[in-house]
Structure 1
Amino acid sequence: MERITAKYYIETPLDLEKSAQLLAGEQSSGTFIAVPGETEELKQRFAARVESITPMDTANEPAIPGVLSAGGKYQRAMIEVSWSIENFGYNLPVMVSTLQGNLYELTQFTGLKLMDLELPASFATAFKGPKFGIAGCRKLTGVYNRPLIGTIIKPSIGMTPEQTAALVNTLALAGIDFIKDDELLGSSANSPFDKRVDAIMEVINRHADRSGKKVMYAFNISDDIDQMQRNYEKILRSGGTSAMISLNSVGLAGVKKIGEIGELAIHGHRNGWGMLNRHPLLGIEFPAYQQLWRLAGVDQIHVNGIQNKFWESDDSVVRSIEACFKPLLGGYSVLPVVSSGQWGGQAVETYRRVPSVDLLYMAGGGIMAHPDGPAGGVVALQQAWQGAVDGLSVAETAAKYPEFGHSVSVFGKKQA
């Protein structure tokens, strides 16, 4: 029988072997005491197995408080535990409850983080996965051999549909590839969802008829499932190509339900990521996280950005991008979305660390606050990536391209 394997980073004041076995028992057939009915036959079939334990360093203080965290040394280790898929079948919510669930409540652990997953081959037939991925998003936008350049509507909330459409028109004329609602905007008092779709798609469709290029606009459909489906259908009827979902707010079951429709590219926004990952010994790491959302059908997923405005390190961002590029189940391609405090100046370092142009490179203020206006911001980002791929430094790119040079005069000073 196929098994799924999970890799954890743990900290415990107890014996590592005992702690690992406790984790495996708690999340399968066992509990804190032997119970009637837990036969050897049952355990053989349904009990989780500890596959490996790799000791690491020790700490004098616990990473997080725990009932058993007073005094002594706190051992850290990487452990691998596996479960038969008979335990949960192809039920994603129950699988996540098994792999994480009550583990974070156990007093025996003063640190626990799900680091990575190894999924069995049968998941490829059980889950539809992303419909579009990297190749499909390139086909929808007509963008090849460079990153897709995108932006976020700013101000995040407060603009009317007509004001938003006017900004979309400016961006479309400048050659933008992708635009999205901010995650704060759903259907607000002065920007009802249907009216916003009508106003924006009138601009996008008109521009596509004239130029042959259809801008991908990711409308935020996040809501309860029935309303998300209505929002999705509205975008389809209007000629749109993408829908955005706030993954952590909607949840796996909701995203999977929408993703399985398969007619719009799903832009997965991971807002709330910090509460899942910011502590080094609590939560989930991106290599595990992104696999779950690929199974649910997400075509694009946020990975933060190099030299970003948030807490995440460049090394962590690079690992996240590389995780998206790692093959999964013979397909399930997902497009990494680089964002948060980005402008063209980070393109050189991004390309040096991850030499690929299979990215959606997003800049909000980096486009909207460009000294030549949003149109200049779009051009500057295109120039920045051309310079990066050509091996030019930021200074050399600024000297060669006027619009990028103007952005350096504003954003370069802020970054310094």
Structure 2
Amino acid sequence: MAIDWYNEFVNLNYEPEKNELICLYYFEPAAGISGREAAGRIASESSTGTWTTLFTMPPRMKALQATAFDIEGNVVMIAYPLDLWEEGNAVQLLSGIAGNIFGMKALKNLRLIDVSLPSAYTKHFKGPHFGNDGIRKMMGITGRPFTGAVPKPKIGFSAREHAKIGYETWMGGFDFVKDDENLTSTSFNRFDDRVEHMTKLRDVAEKETGEKKSAFLNITADVETMKKRADMLAENGWNYAMIDVVVAGTAAVMTMRDYCSDLGLAIHAHRAMHATFDRNRKHGITMQFLAKLMRLVGVSQIHTGTAVGKLTGSRRESIALADLLREKKTAAVEGMLLEQDWGKIKSAFPVSSGGLHPGLVPDVLDIYGTEMVLLVSGGIHGHPKGTRAGATATMQAIEAWQEGVTLEEKAKNAKELKEALGKWGHYKPV
């Protein structure tokens, strides 16, 4: 039996209102379902529809229907009335535009590519507490990317060992030492102990270098535990907390954004688990939408890939991600981004990480420029002369890029960089 109910959610002559949310989806209908019906089903299930016509429905509800207004092949744009969405509730937004629609049998595949959020919606969110200018002021660093590293292996060190590697990282010129996604508070490296040892050696490194040093210490847990850990960081003079934002959940991140802001803590967002829903090009949610969501709810930075390291992601995607995090307005990029005006929402930093070493630094900076956080971990700890020399080599590579000379030219008078190139050259891990 044909169901024409879904046709009511398709109008190819519709002109979206200024305050409507616009979603861009890739979709593949299941066998026997037309593209038009599939688009109508997406709009219906994500707004006011159900599987059949209803006996009674107030006429006013017609104004709450989503409308599929542009269908080109397997790509559809759907407009959603503002009144569908609770003010300042990003969790409820996901329940609509990324909820039941992903389980419909009428669709073989569905991928949420991007969402254009009107100012009438974004004005209810606080966004990042500091913004990029505020972070730079807080750290006292301008004119170059921020640098950081994870002690490697990523998990297994004691708190004391972890801090010693962190100290060597700072002394090599790096700004940040970072916990990795699966290090929280383990039997061999309790969070409290790690904070204690890191704090002591941070103070030593700052005194010896005259530079501001910090860390991304992973507080990820249930919300109440995260609050206690954030309190400890603030009490010990730290200015950052790290959260695995995907596994913690949007609601937890929204809560912790406000809690951390009250403590003067910026949030470093690790994207662990993102690839479970963004790697498949035909189904799930894109990384650019995840990054947009995290800027909206208020993280200060989020991992966006390298395009030249060991993780998936193209140069085009990396640039698009960086722009939507840093710019006040972002233009549409065909098949990838919709226009976005962030209004009062402050900027956030893209974080480039995954399989980097000094020989790849110019490639990364060619993509991102200097307004980013550069994480080089194995690529400093694996240096022939150790962590401190590896960090120094990375800083020398940054200088070479800024000076407009090749790494080989710079290495003539930079022994640490020369040794790094001797081991890795310009090798790109896979």
Report if TM-score (shorter chain) is over 0.5.
yes
Equivalence for 1:160: 158
Equivalence for 1:206: 204
Quote how far apart the aligned CAs of 1:210 are. 4.8
1:284 matches 2:285: yes
Quote how far apart the aligned CAs of 1:311 are. 3.2
Equivalence for 1:116: 114
1:88 matches 2:85: yes
Quote how far apart the aligned CAs of 1:216 are. 1.7
Quote how far apart the aligned CAs of 1:149 are. 1.1
Equivalence for 1:5: 22
Distance in structure 1 (CA, Å) of the matches to 2:247 and 2:253: 10
Unaligned runs of 5+ in 2: 1-16, 329-341
Task: Work out whether residues 351 and 389 of structure 1, in 8 Å CA contact, stay in contact via their aligned partners in 2.
Answer: no
Unaligned runs of 5+ in 1: 56-75
Equivalence for 1:16: 35
Q: Secondary structure at the match of 2:129?
A: coil
Task: Give the partner amino acid of 2:376.
Answer: A
Quote how far apart the aligned CAs of 1:267 are. 0.3
Quote how far apart the aligned CAs of 1:124 are. 4.1
Task: Give the partner amino acid of 2:367.
Answer: R
Q: Secondary structure at the match of 1:220?
A: coil
- Cα 1:39–1:124 change in 2 (3 A) is closer
Distance in structure 1 (CA, Å) of the matches to 2:25 and 2:273: 21
The percentage of counterpart residues that share the same residue type is 27
2:56 to 37, 48, 53: 37
Distance in structure 2 (CA, Å) of the matches to 1:413 and 1:94: 45
Task: Work out whether residues 133 and 300 of structure 1, in 8 Å CA contact, stay in contact via their aligned partners in 2.
Answer: no
Q: Which moved more, 1:315-324 or 1:359-368?
A: 315-324
Equivalence for 2:169: 171
Matches within 5 A, 1:95-114: 95-114=93-112
2:185 to 164, 184, 187: 187
Distance in structure 1 (CA, Å) of the matches to 2:233 and 2:111: 38
Deviation by residue 1:379-413 (Cα, 9 ceiling, x = unmatched): 11111122223333343343453221211111227
Equivalence for 1:349: 363
TM-score (structure 2 length as normaliser): 0.86
Q: Secondary structure at the match of 1:245?
A: strand
Quote how far apart the aligned CAs of 1:52 are. 1.8
TM-score (structure 1 length as normaliser): 0.89
Equivalence for 1:365: 378
Quote how far apart the aligned CAs of 1:186 are. 0.5
Task: Work out whether residues 383 and 420 of structure 2, in 8 Å CA contact, stay in contact via their aligned partners in 1.
Answer: yes
Q: Secondary structure at the match of 2:374?
A: strand
Task: Work out whether residues 205 and 214 of structure 1, in 8 Å CA contact, stay in contact via their aligned partners in 2.
Answer: no
Deviation by residue 1:196-226 (Cα, 9 ceiling, x = unmatched): 1011111112333454422120110000000
Q: Which moved more, 1:201-210 or 1:23-32?
A: 201-210
Task: Work out whether residues 359 and 427 of structure 2, in 8 Å CA contact, stay in contact via their aligned partners in 1.
Answer: no
After superposition, the CA RMSD in angstroms is: 1.9
1:252 matches 2:250: yes
| Count of aligned pairs | 393
Task: Give the partner amino acid of 2:319.
Answer: V
Distance in structure 1 (CA, Å) of the matches to 2:36 and 2:80: 17
Distance in structure 2 (CA, Å) of the matches to 1:236 and 1:164: 20
Distance in structure 2 (CA, Å) of the matches to 1:351 and 1:200: 29
Q: Which moved more, 1:176-185 or 1:199-208?
A: 199-208
Equivalence for 1:338: 352
Distance in structure 2 (CA, Å) of the matches to 1:413 and 1:289: 31
- Cα 1:319–1:124 change in 2 (3 A) is closer
Task: Work out whether residues 25 and 48 of structure 1, in 8 Å CA contact, stay in contact via their aligned partners in 2.
Answer: yes
1:28 matches 2:47: yes
Matches within 5 A, 1:129-148: 129-148=127-146
Distance in structure 2 (CA, Å) of the matches to 1:8 and 1:397: 47
Task: Give the partner amino acid of 2:169.
Answer: L
Deviation by residue 1:203-261 (Cα, 9 ceiling, x = unmatched): 11233345442212011000000000000000000111111000111001101111112
Distance in structure 1 (CA, Å) of the matches to 2:327 and 2:426: 36
Q: Secondary structure at the match of 1:114?
A: strand
Q: Secondary structure at the match of 1:126?
A: coil
Task: Work out whether residues 310 and 428 of structure 2, in 8 Å CA contact, stay in contact via their aligned partners in 1.
Answer: no
- Cα 1:331–1:390 change in 2 (3 A) is farther
Distance in structure 1 (CA, Å) of the matches to 2:59 and 2:72: 28
Q: Secondary structure at the match of 1:304?
A: coil
Q: Secondary structure at the match of 2:267?
A: strand
Distance in structure 2 (CA, Å) of the matches to 1:381 and 1:25: 52
Equivalence for 2:214: 216
1:48 matches 2:61: no
Q: Secondary structure at the match of 2:123?
A: helix
Distance in structure 1 (CA, Å) of the matches to 2:205 and 2:363: 34
Distance in structure 1 (CA, Å) of the matches to 2:173 and 2:361: 18
Distance in structure 2 (CA, Å) of the matches to 1:209 and 1:414: 36
Distance in structure 2 (CA, Å) of the matches to 1:413 and 1:92: 42
Equivalence for 1:58: none
Task: Give the partner amino acid of 1:410.
Answer: K
1:376 to 389, 397, 400: 389
Task: Give the partner amino acid of 1:6.
Answer: C
